[in-house]
Each structure stands twice: as structure tokens, then as C-alpha cells.
Amino acid sequence: MTAFAGRVADLLGLSEEAGLERLAGGDLSEVLLIRRPDGHLSVAKGGPAVGTEASMLRALRDAGARVPTVEGEHSGVLLLEHVAGDGLFTPRAWADMGEQLARLHAVRGDDYGWPVNYALGTVQLDNRPRSDWPGFWGEQRLAAVAAMLDRPWRERVGRVVSGLDRSLPQRPPPSLLHGDLWSGNIIVREGTLAAFLDPACYHGDAEVDLAMLTLFDAPPDSFWEAYGPLEPDWPARRPVYQLFPALVHLRLFGDGYAKLTDRLLGALDA
């Protein structure tokens, strides 16, 4: 029994063998499926900021997005509703996802950022509110993540950051973002979006979520039609928004993401 499983078992009065099962995934935190004696299924996640994740899930739900219900917050343990999925990303499921994401992005903040800082694994996210979008993206996302990489990476990212005033809009609508949007954080079932998972919310350019979604996935036309029109020049900005998750993956998982990061920097002439 891991220390986390022991804590969950003690918290709920369960034996690990009878009630707990490790779930696939959980690259950045331990995740357990809980089978209660009455048949109810829950999920337990570990981490140092479970209260922040719970508040983000509630913010997404308040915006009309489907997310697991928060069942409890305890020291280092977040209890969530278990949402079943079938893994079939059909065109209809993508369309439902596009509608839900458009609804989420229609919720606006006053500035860019979030009330508290957060982290993706060991990568700290500086969420201090700011009214200057190129400054937020350059300093609090790209440069902050690259700061712990080798100097050649830092220098190339620095060249990108120095040109953001010319390549990014100064004041795009500060949309509510999921912040870590890819298919691994999306549950679909029977042709619908069942839930968004594992948010890293903040307010920013809506194109950030779309760029990450297209970094690892290829949404079909049904998604784009349901999401709605985009600025015609958004593909020109996509590499600078995709660079952030590439740098995060390079930090967390190593050189397996070096080619991806190099390709995006090359597309940005850095």
C-alpha cells in the first residue's frame, strides 16, 4: 500500500484490497478508483494543491462546462465523482466538445491570470494577474518555464519572448481557460462530452486552449463548426501558444520532447 492509498483508505474506512484500485494515467499525481461498499464509485487524487484544483473545477462547472463533481477536499486528497467514458472520439463527441469549450471561453475575467499560483507537476505556474497579454505570456509562461532548461533553450525562447509585442494581440478577451486541454484530460461517452478533467485554469487568450488541443490531437471539422469562427490569422499564433506545453513536457519528461520543441522554435524563427 502506498502512503497515499493508505491515507485514502484511512479517510474512508476502507481496506486497500477491497476498495482501492490504481487508475491508468496519473503522470503527475497518484490517482485511485474507490469502490465503496454501497457500489458508489469515486476517484481520489493526490497533490499539494487539491483545494485549488477543486476551485477550478467549480469555476468550470459554473461556466456551464461538464466536469466531475467535487465530493470532498482533505489534506492532500481530492475526492471526485467517477465519470465513465467509452474513449470514442466520434465527430458528434467532438462537436459537443466544441460547443462546451465555446461556452467556457465566453466567460471573461478582468485581467490575465488567476487568483492563486498553480503547478503542472514540478513546473510552477505564475498566475499573478496582469493586463498586458504579451507580457503575461512571455514572462509568466514561456520565460518562466524555460528558466530551468539548458542555456541554448533559454536563449531561443528569449528571442521569441522579445518579439511577442509584435506577434500577439495586446488585449485579447481574457477568456476562462481549461489550461491543460488535450484528449487525455477529456472523457467522452456515447457521442457526447462527459467531462473535462485536470484543469489548470486561468484567464487568457482562448486560442491557448485551441493550440494545445491541436498539438497532440486533430479535431475534425465538426469541432470547429461547433466552436465557432476564429480570427483568420490565428494559425500564425498557434506555434507560440503550442510552445508553452512543449516546454512543460520537455521539463517534465525530458529529451523525448526536444524535437517537438525545436520544431516549434524553428517555426518562430528562434
Instruction: State pLDDT tens for residues 233-249.
Output: 999 999 999 999 999 99
pLDDT of residue 108: 97
Q: What is the mean pLDDT of residues 183-195?
A: 96
- Confirm whether 210 is domain-assigned: yes
Q: Within this chain, do residues 43 and 140 fall inside the same structural domain, yes or no?
A: no
Q: What is the mean pLDDT of residues 257-262?
A: 98
Q: Within this chain, do residues 68 and 42 fall inside the same structural domain, yes or no?
A: yes
Q: Within this chain, do residues 22 and 151 fall inside the same structural domain, yes or no?
A: no
Query: For residue 263, what pLDDT band results from cuts at 50, 70 and 90?
Result: very high
Could you list the residue range(s) of the whole structural domain that residue 154 is in? 91-267
pLDDT of residue 25: 57
Q: List all residues 6 or more positions away from 167 whose beta carbon is below 8 Å from its beta carbon.
A: 134, 236, 237, 240
Q: What is the mean pLDDT of residues 33-47?
A: 86
Q: What is the mean pLDDT of residues 155-183?
A: 97
SS3 breakdown of the chain: % helix, strand, coil, rounded to 5?
45, 20, 35
Mean pLDDT computed over every residue of the chain: 93
Q: What is the mean pLDDT of residues 174-180?
A: 98
Report the alpha-carbon distance of residue 247 to residue 251 in Å, rounded.
Answer: 6
Q: Within this chain, do residues 127 and 254 fall inside the same structural domain, yes or no?
A: yes
Q: Within this chain, do residues 14 and 101 fall inside the same structural domain, yes or no?
A: no
Query: For residue 19, what pLDDT band results from cuts at 50, 70 and 90?
Result: confident
Last residue of a domain, one of 62, 81, 100: 81
Domain containing residue 176: CATH number: 3.90.1200.10
pLDDT of residue 27: 54
Last residue of a domain, one of 48, 81, 114: 81
Residue 118: C-alpha distances to residues 44, 74, 215 (Å): 19, 18, 22
> If residue 125 lies in a helix (H) or strand (E), which one and from where to where?
strand 123-125
Q: Within this chain, do residues 247 and 196 fall inside the same structural domain, yes or no?
A: yes
- The C-alpha cell at 248 is 512543460
The active-site residue, picked from 180, 198, 205, 209, is 180
Query: For residue 17, what pLDDT band results from cuts at 50, 70 and 90?
Result: low
pLDDT of residue 18: 66
Q: The pTM is what?
A: 0.94
Last residue of a domain, one of 38, 53, 81: 81
Q: Within this chain, do residues 130 and 231 fall inside the same structural domain, yes or no?
A: yes
Whether 57 shows a pLDDT value over 60: the answer reads yes
Q: Please state, for a pLDDT cut of 90, what percent of the chain lies above it.
A: 81
Q: Within this chain, do residues 169 and 252 fall inside the same structural domain, yes or no?
A: yes
Q: Is 180 an active-site residue?
A: yes
Which residue stretches of 91-163 are H helix? 91-105, 133-135, 144-146, 151-162
- Confirm whether 170 is domain-assigned: yes
Query: For residue 266, what pLDDT band results from cuts at 50, 70 and 90?
Result: very high
Q: Please state, for a pLDDT cut of 70, what percent of the chain lies above it.
A: 96
Query: For residue 14, what pLDDT band results from cuts at 50, 70 and 90?
Result: confident
Please, what's the b/e burial string for 252-261 (b: 16 or more CB within 10 A of its CB; e: otherwise)?
eeeeebeebb
Domain count, the chain: 2
Q: Within this chain, do residues 181 and 213 fall inside the same structural domain, yes or no?
A: yes
Q: Within this chain, do residues 190 and 147 fall inside the same structural domain, yes or no?
A: yes
- Confirm whether 86 is domain-assigned: no
